[in-house]
Amino acid sequence: VTNADEVASASGPVRPTSGASVVHRPIDGLGARLTGGLLGDWQQRNRSASIPLALRQLEAAGNLANLRLAISGVGGTYRGPVFMDSDIYKTLEAISWEQGREPSEELAEFAAQTTALLRAAQLADGYLNSYKQVTGNPHFEKLESSHELYCAGHLIQAAVAADRSCEGAALLGVATRFADLLVSRFLGTKGGLDGHPIVETALVELYRQTGTAEYLQLARQFVDQRGYGLIGDSGFGIRYLQDHLPVRDSPTEVGHAVRALYLESGVTDVAVETGDAALLATSVTRWDDMVATKTALTGGNGSRHSGEAFGDGYELPPDRAYNETCAAIASFHWSWRMLLATGLGQYADLMERILYNGFAASTATDGQRFFYVNPLQRRVDHFEDDDPGRRREWFSCACCPPNIMRLVSSLGHYVATTSGDSLYVHLLTGSQITGEVRGRKFSLDVSTDYPWSGSAELTVRSCPETECGLAIRVPGWSRLVTVTLNGEPITAHSGDDGYLVIRRQWRPGDVVAATLDLRPRLTFPNRRIDALRGTAAIERGPLVYCFEPADQAAGVDVEDLALGSDAPAERTAELAGIGKTVIIDAQAVHLPAQDPPYSENLAPGPDGSATAVAIPYFQWDNRDGRAMRVWMPYEATKP
């Protein structure tokens, strides 16, 4: 038995204060340590391949050069978009979470050198922004498009991460000096708002880390001032900036998806730290609407390339979908806060859908190429100015890659929480989890090959000496869950909140084995989603599947297949360019050629049977870069 003193102090993103109105609390210390499986593999790949790439690119693309120019004042040639500093901050945040997991001298060296550059570039009043300092443009002007507070927000998040997970006092000093300037410049005024949210959630996190109440007050002010025309027009209209309606009156997500979803993290953080149930309720309303009418099967958001924006309700075209990687990350961050605030498993369900699909597809198998745009269909002749259809190593607007890195580095923090006297497991993955329940350590080893396998073993390593609960999330798609305790079947029902809770006096060595139903299933769209009418998709567990030409039988064109109604079959495989996977063979029919685009006659029916072969969506575009589709025509009857 160990006591609470041995549980490390707070680390990880999103640490509600002891007074916050939350149902769940993140577990302390490192969160869960990922020990293997898909998420653990992604975390290793992120560290060994993706982060080194970011360090090279921050030099090659000019981000660090901009910072060096800023140290010597106005002059020189600034490179890239106005928010180049934010890529540095996101990378520093990723490094901080990595240092918390497993310190590396090389990463520590980069963080120390870059922090020294930031300290040198910071002005006496606390201001720091390489674009404004190199170009000499006035500070805090054109906030609708200058991204000054957006960059400040990412600086603050990086500093909070550094302070929570490693030696971060220097970076925290830079961030608090800038935050203090923001307080003196904006608190209690109508002095403007940033066109791109994130400073709201960042200021709440800085309040959590430092206890300085003004940071929370300023975050609340920024949330409450939105929607009153204080931002101005960046040229994309006020809906793009979520300035069309006060947050408390807004029923649905509109405009630039990343902006809208980052704002929601701030809204939720402000609501729980100020006990503002009415504000939280507006976030709940928009989340429900977003999931019901504006979210792709992959968890992606943003139906329009124009404005990288949410579309109308049910406007969810698979081919034109934008689904920016950053929007997936922002939605994941928002749902985590909603999960903490409410304790409802539906939020973890969406996080998992995003994680294994819309988010995971962003990164190539080698961890060195990334998608910015994540559609659900690509035709073989695809071309789009802002989306060549293949992953790339970096982007002129490189918001996504370092954003991916900071999330993957922090994934362990999203695995489990505590609530009351129970430990909750939200993401089943190979991990070691240590939470604090009733003032005592409650530790588990989770062993599983999820999501390839639906079985998981949770072994208790240490536990309180009184009865307490162990809760496992039962995803909405799992029709059947079997559970054993030390080999004996037990009857356990999941509650309305989506969790199956086992209460007992636990003993070290107790083993809970749970099996989720991963049988492949056909999924059909709501009839109001016109772009998908008459189609079906295949899912297996949390994974959405897709069809690429490379997997089909010789002579079979994906575009001439329709899925049939028979249950799909699965087989494990090792594919060149992809590695380990589970392939699905779906019963299908072949559709005959139909040359005229329009005709007086209904399309002819199928002329033969076929098999359509699917792979997980997140593994697409790792081979020949040809066509891909998630949704297929559906023909209920065989020929």
Q: What are the start-end ranges of the E strands in 41-145?
A: none
At residue 3, the 3 state secondary structure works out as: strand
Interacting stretch for Zn ion, rule CB under 5 A, among 8-16, 262-270, 344-352, 400-408? 400-408
Active-site annotation holds for 326: no
Q: Which stretch binds Zn ion (CB under 5 A): 237-245, 323-331, 514-522, 622-630?
A: 323-331
Among 128, 263, 360, 399, binds Zn ion (CB under 5 A): 399
Answer for the pair 203, 186: CB distance below 8 angstroms, yes or no.
Answer: no
424, β-bridge pairs: 417, 471
Minimum distance between the CB of residue 132 and Zn ion, rounded to whole angstroms?
22
Amino acid at 375: P
In the complex with Zn ion, the residue whose CB is nearer, 152 or 399, is 399
Per rule CB under 5 A, is residue 326 in the interface with Zn ion?
A: yes
The secondary element (H helix, E strand) that includes residue 482 is strand 481-485
Q: Count the residues in the chain.
A: 639
Is 399 a residue of the active site? yes
Q: How many residues bind Zn ion (CB under 5 A)?
A: 3
Q: Which is nearer to Zn ion, 30 or 400 (CB)?
A: 400
Shortest Cβ distance from residue 337 to Zn ion (Å)?
20
* DSSP 8-state symbol, 48: I
Is 410 or 478 the residue whose CB approaches Zn ion more closely?
A: 410
**CB nearer Zn ion, residue 261 or residue 400:** 400
CB of residue 189 to Zn ion, shortest distance in Å: 31
Contact code string over 274-313 relative to Zn ion, x by CB under 5 A: ----------------------------------------
The smaller minimum CB distance to Zn ion, of residues 238 and 399, is found at 399
- Tell me the C-alpha to C-alpha distance, in Å, between residue 139 and each of 133, 143, 389, 548: 8, 9, 38, 50
DSSP, res 551: G
Cβ atoms < 10 Å from Cβ of 496: 7
Residues 528, 313: Cα–Cα separation, whole Å: 9
Active-site choice (151, 166, 326, 399):
399
The structure tokens listed for 569 are 């079959």
For the CB of residue 619, give the shortest distance to Zn ion in the complex, in Å: 21
- CB closer to Zn ion, 373 vs 613: 373
Which helix or strand (DSSP H or E) is residue 443 part of?
strand 440-448
Which residue stretch of 41-49, 57-65, 393-401, 511-519 sits at the interface with Zn ion (rule: CB under 5 A)?
393-401
CA distance linking residue 218 with residue 159, whole number of Å: 18
**Tokens read off for 517:** 């139903």
Tell me whether residue 131 or residue 371 sits nearer to Zn ion (CB atom): 371
Residue at shortest CB range from Zn ion: 326
Q: Where are the alpha helices (DSSP H) in 246-276?
A: 257-274
Segment 445-484, which members bind Zn ion (CB under 5 A)?
A: none
Q: Considering only 119-127, 209-217, 242-250, 391-399, which stretch makes contact with Zn ion by CB under 5 A?
A: 391-399
Nearest 10 degrees: Cα torsion 609, 613, 617, 623? -130
Give CA–CA dist 304/324, Å, rounded.
10
Q: How far is the CB of 38 from Zn ion (least distance, A)?
A: 23
What distances in angstroms separate CA 443 from CA 36, 221, 222, 250, 464, one per listed residue?
Answer: 17, 40, 40, 42, 10
Minimum gap (Å) between residue 181 Cβ and Zn ion: 27
Helices (H) and strands (E) in the chain, counts: 16, 22
Both tokens of 267, joined, read 């809204």
Shorter beta-carbon distance to Zn ion: residue 370 or 442: 370
Q: How far is the CB of 398 from Zn ion (least distance, A)?
A: 8
Given the complex with Zn ion, which of 37 and 300 has the nearer CB atom? 300
Instruction: List the one residue out of 349, 368, 366, 359 whose CA is nearest residue 403.
Output: 359
Interface segment toward Zn ion; rule CB under 5 A; list 296-304, 392-400, 557-565, 615-623: 392-400
Q: Which residue among the candidates 308, 352, 436, 548 is catalytic per the annotation?
A: 308
Q: How far apart are CB 324 and Zn ion at their closest, in Å?
A: 5
Q: Interface with Zn ion includes 373 (CB under 5 A)?
A: no
Residue closer to Zn ion (CB basis): 400 or 628: 400
Residue among 257, 128, 150, 249 at smallest CA distance from 195:
150
Least Å distance, CB 343 to Zn ion, is 30
Region binding Zn ion by CB under 5 A among candidate stretches 47-55, 322-330, 456-464, 465-473: 322-330
Segment 495 to 554, residues that bind Zn ion, using CB under 5 A: none
| CA dihedral (63, 241, 157, 26) positive or negative | negative
Contact, 40 vs 93, CB < 8 A?
no
> What's the min distance (Å) between Cβ of 355 and Zn ion?
17
Residue 322 CB, shortest distance to Zn ion, in Å, is 10
| C-beta closer to Zn ion: residue 326 or 516 | 326
Give the span between the Cα atoms of 228 and 206, in whole angstroms: 26
Q: Which helix (H) or strand (E) holds 432?
A: strand 431-437
* Dist CA 625 CA 390 (whole Å): 7
Burial 74-106 (b: 16+ CB within 10 A, else e): eeeebbbebbbbbbbbbbbbbbbbbbbbeeeee
- Evaluate the omega torsion of the peptide bond into residue 451 and state whether it is cis, within 30 degrees of 0: yes
**Of positions 175, 348, 400, 425, contacts Zn ion by CB under 5 A:** 400
Q: Taking contact as CB under 5 A, which single stretch among the options 206-214, 320-328, 535-543, 623-631 is the one that binds Zn ion? A: 320-328
- Asked if 329 is part of the footprint of Zn ion (rule: CB under 5 A), the reply reads no
Q: Residue 258 has what DSSP assignment?
A: H
> Whole-angstrom Cα distance, residue 55 to residue 47?
11
In the complex, the residues that contact Zn ion under the rule CB under 5 A are 326, 399-400
Q: Which residues are known catalytic residues?
A: 308, 399
